[in-house]
């Protein structure tokens, strides 16, 4: 209880400092809009979404702006698909940045972009055909970044705008929806191509966006490889004859993806002068916690805190499948790895963020994010 109280005090003190910093930035003098901190620009899916899907025309199943999401730290739903803070929230804290807002948030001031912004969208994929019309796909996220880049150059001037882009760190998590989507609907691209070619499309689209960001001036990038979502509670109940078993068709795709992403980043490092990156082995980090929860301070590694059915693997959390839909909610969320059938709790996010931020080369390599933020 005392530890929890201390954590809350530290968090709110940090928030106060950040808010004061934001207020001090609101000055008509452009010099005051530029900070010495590297900005954080976030691309991806529900693992990183800070609430962009709150502002798009989509189904309730692609939003998390209702209780009990957000119950732990914010005490209200923000659109983050968790009980509290996400990995980018912790990375921002470690980098002494404010909470990175969603790009579509109406209250965004242009000066806030100097600290960065999140383009991530729950359900998004690297392929435009993944949940089309329901999410903000990766290419659209890139187009939104280009708009921000134009705002920065216009507001700050060419030199200072270019400096913000060059100093910034670009954080990515994308692809898992591309591998889950074909098993929930008919995908002509998936059905008409060998698995390896399909993975090439996903990784190829991702690296194409990285190259575009590099072309604009980005040099420092952070990535998570694909986590063991084939063993998330939702995946563990897909095959009703093997409840509790990982979903092997997705396992194959995830393993291929991680090999190709690693090789693709190494290739970019050779081809692009000044390209620096941190790649966290999220697959191993998550697998270890699923299989050995008690080692990391959890009681449940395979059952969700919120949902219904076996392992609470049916995603009814917060009435996600309909207003009248009931759901179960655990008493102590800190005992759980998964908050809902597919998304992690704040406690896990903090553990993973620490590994990305300052982990050794056996978990995050060739740089960690702390090293990237410190690079000029």
Would you call 349 a catalytic residue per the annotation? no
Catalytic residue among 280, 283, 343, 349: 343
Does the annotation count 343 as an active-site position? yes
The catalytic residue among 38, 46, 118, 285 is 46
Cα–Cα separations (whole angstroms), residue 277 to 31, 134, 282: 29, 30, 15
Q: Is 294 exposed, middle or buried (CB count within 10 Å of its CB: 0-12, 13-18, 19+)?
A: exposed
Alpha helices (H) in 67-130, listed in sequence order: 87-94
CA 122 to chain centre: 9
**344: preceding bond cis by omega (within 30 degrees):** no
The size of the chain, in residues, is: 376
Region label for 201, one of left (φ > 0), alpha (ψ between -120 and 50) or beta (otherwise):
alpha
Q: Which two tokens stand for residue 102?
A: 């969603």
Q: Which of 89, 137, 281, 340 is catalytic?
A: 340
Asked if 242 and 296 count as a contact pair (C-beta separation under 8 A), the reply is no
Residues 6+ apart with CB under 8 A from 212: 142
Joined tokens for residue 196: 């390896």
- Determine the Cα–Cα distance for residues 79 and 118; give it in Å rounded to an integer: 12
Asked whether the beta carbons of 369 and 357 are under 8 A apart, the reply is yes
The 3-state DSSP class for residue 95 equals coil
- In order of 166, 219, 302, 305, 351, the CA distances from 162 in angstroms are 6, 12, 46, 44, 33
Tokens found for residue 81: 């698909």
Catalytic sites, residue numbers:
46, 340, 343
């Amino acid at each position: 209880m005392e530890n929890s109280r201390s954590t809350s005090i530290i968090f709110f003190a940090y928030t106060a400092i950040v808010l004061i910093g934001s207020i001090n930035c609101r000055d008509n003098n452009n010099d005051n809009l530029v900070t010495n901190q590297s900005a954080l620009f976030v691309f991806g899916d529900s693992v990183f979404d800070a609430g962009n899907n709150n502002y798009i025309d989509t189904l309730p199943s692609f939003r998390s702006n209702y209780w009990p999401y957000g119950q732990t730290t914010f005490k209200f739903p923000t659109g983050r698909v968790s009980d509290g803070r996400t990995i980018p929230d912790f990375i921002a804290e470690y980098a002494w940045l404010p909470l990175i807002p969603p790009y579509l948030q109406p209250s965004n001031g242009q000066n806030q972009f100097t600290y960065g912004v999140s383009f991530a969208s729950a359900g998004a994929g690297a392929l435009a055909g993944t949940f089309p019309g329901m999410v903000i796909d990766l290419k659209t996220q890139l187009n939104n970044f280009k708009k921000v880049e134009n705002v920065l150059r216009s507001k700050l001037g060419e030199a200072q705008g270019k400096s913000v882009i060059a100093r910034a760190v670009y954080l990515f998590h994308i692809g898992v929806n591309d591998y889950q989507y074909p098993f929930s609907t008919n995908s002509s691209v998936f059905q008409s191509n060998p698995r390896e070619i399909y993975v090439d499309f996903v990784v190829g689209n991702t690296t194409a966006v990285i190259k575009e960001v590099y072309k604009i001036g980005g040099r420092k990038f952070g990535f998570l490889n694909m986590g063991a979502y084939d063993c998330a509670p939702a995946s563990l109940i897909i095959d009703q004859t093997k409840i509790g078993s990982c979903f092997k068709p997705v396992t194959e795709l995830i393993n291929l993806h991680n090999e190709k992403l690693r090789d693709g980043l190494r290739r970019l490092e050779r081809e692009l002068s000044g390209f620096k990156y941190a790649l966290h082995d999220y697959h191993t980090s998550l697998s270890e916690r699923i299989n050995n929860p008690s080692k990391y301070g959890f009681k449940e590694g395979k059952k969700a805190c919120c949902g219904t059915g076996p392992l609470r693997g049916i995603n009814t959390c917060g009435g996600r499948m309909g207003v009248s839909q009931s759901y179960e909610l655990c008493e102590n969320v800190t005992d759980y790895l998964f908050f809902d059938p597919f998304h992690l709790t704040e406690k896990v996010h903090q553990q993973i963020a620490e590994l990305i931020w300052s982990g050794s080369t056996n978990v995050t390599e060739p740089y960690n994010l702390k090293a990237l933020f410190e690079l000029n």
